Amino acid sequence: MLQAQFTSLLNANNFIPLPETDVLSSEIDGSFTAPKQETLFALIHQLYSLITAESQSTTSDELKKIHRKKNLSFLKIASYCRAILLSPTLDDNYELTHILKIWEIRILCLLFLTDPSFSKNPVTHTIIPNAKFLRTEVNILMKELIRIEESRLRRENSPIDKRPVEMRFPEELDPFFKEILRRIKYGPSLVLINYSYMDLFELRGFLAESTDEMETNDYLKRIEILAYATTATMIARRENLSVFNLLIATAEDAERCTVRNELYISRLSLLGCLIGLIYLFKEYSSSTKPVVSAISGEEDHGFEDSCDESPYFASVKNLFSKVQLEGPFVQLAKIMGSVPPVFDDESFQTVHLESGELRSLVELQRLIKNLKITGRILCSLCAEFELTLRFGESSEILENSNDELSSALQILNKVWWNGNVSKVYGFE
């Protein structure tokens, strides 16, 4: 039986308590007594129908009702995943891959449920205030995954694995899910950065030995994803000057690459330019306060003038000149129009601009000075770059897999674009 084979993953003690579970169970046809994969798939389709309806809603009251139903749907799915994993009638045809996919569906739904406004109004909002709430469950899950891999290595008398124990996961674990688990567990810490660098070192070793074109392209894509993840982590840690220098060096490396990737260079250069301007603005703000003319009511141009005097501004301008493609500006405009620039502060609203309006260094300076482009916007932009690398655009994700669990995950991955881009790194 699967319970005997994977006892550590199918244990009731592994799950965080969700108070509304009992209420929700009564709303699901057939209850939780004999959970089936088909019911889980149906619930996920219902969720996506709600998301589609939400995007078409026109009134505030209608949006609130659908938002509430959508959150309850996330909770239903997460609870139902738990019921499947603990069911004594769990399908004996399941393998570790299937179990991990159900775990991934559960963790993603709980992550989508996180809502910082919970603390202000717990009655009308979800029960998960932030990603930290999930760490207990994630910590246990990661320990059990490492234990399973260690047992496999001993059972097969495999060669000694020289990687740190914390990097040894079953090959059945999806790379994106592994990153999600790490991000939730460690937050924007040096530990997370160190693991990213270890992954990067390992991938570069694989890349050097690769002779297959498809495999090579996969390694290059994963290296690019790590670059965005590391950038976001350092921005969240407010290491602005360090990440500015890192992006300059990474963009230069990308330019020297035998196979030149113009989109990658443009994305790195735009990120570098923006974080450089944020660093200059922080320096300016710490030494003086912007003044407003008593006569005209217009803000002065002290920040812009101070940029011209900074030795770093030449590098900022050089990076800006390397953004040759329109795509990164389109993605920046998309993020600014969907993600508030400051976390959990309703006084800061989204900004709707055309991508062409962002192709001016002076305009970018103005937006940063007025706190329209912030570290949160840049972290979300890194997430947008990562998601499009992993999945393409949301509309390009097709539910065409023969495996129902894979199809369910394909549907769930569309939800990242439904107001959840800022949750990709698990910092909030």
Q: What is the pLDDT of residues 32-52, one digit of tens each?
A: 556 777 888 888 888 888 888
Whole-angstrom distance, CA of residue 64 vs CA of residue 355: 30
- DSSP letter at 292? B
Sign of the CA dihedral running 352, 356, 360, 361: positive
- Residue 299's SS3 state is strand
Buried b / exposed e over 291-301, threshold 16 CB at 10 Å, is: eeeeeeeeeee
Q: Is the pLDDT of residue 124 over 70?
A: no
**What's the confidence (pLDDT) of residue 20?**
53
Buried b / exposed e over 340-360, threshold 16 CB at 10 Å, is: bbebeeeeeeebeeeeeebee
C-alpha 30, offset from chain centre:
34
Whole-angstrom distance, CA of residue 384 vs CA of residue 149: 32
Angle (CA) 173 178 184, round 5°: 145
Mean pLDDT, all residues of the chain: 85
Q: What are phi and psi of 160, to 5 degrees?
A: -60, 125
- Residue 78's SS3 state is helix
User: Would you state the structure tokens that stand for residue 364, as one six-digit string?
Assistant: 């970018």
- DSSP letter at 159? P
Task: Name the pLDDT band for 21 (thresholds 50, 70, 90).
Answer: very low
- Residue 85's SS3 state is helix
| pTM of the predicted structure, to 2 decimals | 0.89
Range list of H helices, 87-134: 96-113
Q: Is the pLDDT of residue 266 over 70?
A: yes
Residues 6+ apart with CB under 8 A from 6: 96, 99, 148
What length does the chain have?
428
Instruction: Choose among 46, 85, 33: nearest CA to 411.
Output: 46
Other CB atoms within a 10 A radius of the CB of residue 92 amount to 8
**What's the confidence (pLDDT) of residue 428?**
83
Whole-angstrom distance, CA of residue 259 vs CA of residue 247: 19
C-alpha 397, offset from chain centre:
17
For residues 58-79, average pLDDT: 85
Task: Name the pLDDT band for 108 (thresholds 50, 70, 90).
Answer: very high
Residue % of the chain over a pLDDT of 70: 86
What is the identity of the amino acid at 210?
S
**CB-based burial of residue 193 (10 Å sphere; 0-12 exposed, 13-18 middle, 19+ buried)?**
middle
Most confident of the following: 138-147, 158-167, 278-287, 378-387: 378-387
